[in-house]
Amino acid sequence: MAAALPPLFQMLAATIPLEALLALSGRCGGMRLYVPKVPNSTSRLAQVLDPKAFDALTRICGGEVIDVPIAAAAHRHVRNRAIVEALANGESKSAVATQFCLSRRTVYYISSAHATRAKPTRKRKLP
């Protein structure tokens, strides 16, 4: 998962939860934002992040302007894991496709890609 994170998020992931970083990316991705030196309620970041994550961000990047990454690959990775989990819990591909607003074909591709990674390949021994 770390490989799917943009460099800024890789740096922040040690102190800020992944869920908070993805929420920041989802709401402010692609924007340039000023991180205040001291947490305050008027900052846009305070509206997006929980107080603990906002405090951690101000300690690390306080006084700086950051470009919030879009992190599409990280969002896709989290979504695909949720899809695989839903299928493992017995939900049909059609129900999962409706739930995630995807086509059944996309859900099939996601599930088959996960299945090929999950199964070890057996090599036959030649005589």
Q: Do 109 and 84 share a structural domain?
A: yes
What residues contact 10, with CB distance under 8 A and at least 6 apart? 2
- Whether 62 maps to a domain, the answer reads yes
Residues 52 and 6 in one domain: yes
What b-and-e string marks burial along 93-125, b requiring 16 or more CB atoms within 10 Å of the CB?
Answer: beebbeebebeeebbeebbeebeeeeeeeeeee
Do the domain assignments include residue 122?
no
Q: What is the mean pLDDT of the chain?
A: 88
Specify if 123 maps to a domain. no
Higher pLDDT, 103 or 116: 103
- Bridge partners (DSSP) listed for residue 32: 67
Do 34 and 46 lie in one domain? The reply is: yes
**CATH classification of the domain holding 104:** 1.10.10
Examine residue 58 and state whether it is found in any structural domain, yes or no: yes
Dihedral over alpha carbons 10, 11, 13, 18 (to 10 degrees): -50
Mean pLDDT of 95-114: 93
The domain total for the chain is 2
Inside any domain, residue 89: yes
**Rounded to 5 degrees, what are φ and ψ at 17?**
-60, 145
Q: Are residues 53 and 80 in the same domain?
A: no
Using pLDDT thresholds of 50, 70 and 90, give the confidence band for residue 38.
very high
Looking at the fold, whether 51 and 78 belong to one and the same domain comes out as no
pTM of the model: 0.71
Q: What is the average per-residue pLDDT within 8-20? A: 90
The secondary structure of the chain in percent helix, strand, coil, rounded to multiples of 5, reads 60, 5, 35
Identify the domain containing residue 111 by its residue range: 73-117
Whether 6 and 66 share a structural domain: yes
Residues 40-44, mean pLDDT to the nearest whole number: 89
Q: How many CB atoms are closer than 10 A to CB 29?
A: 16
My answer on whether 56 and 18 are in the same domain is yes
Are 46 and 86 members of one domain?
no
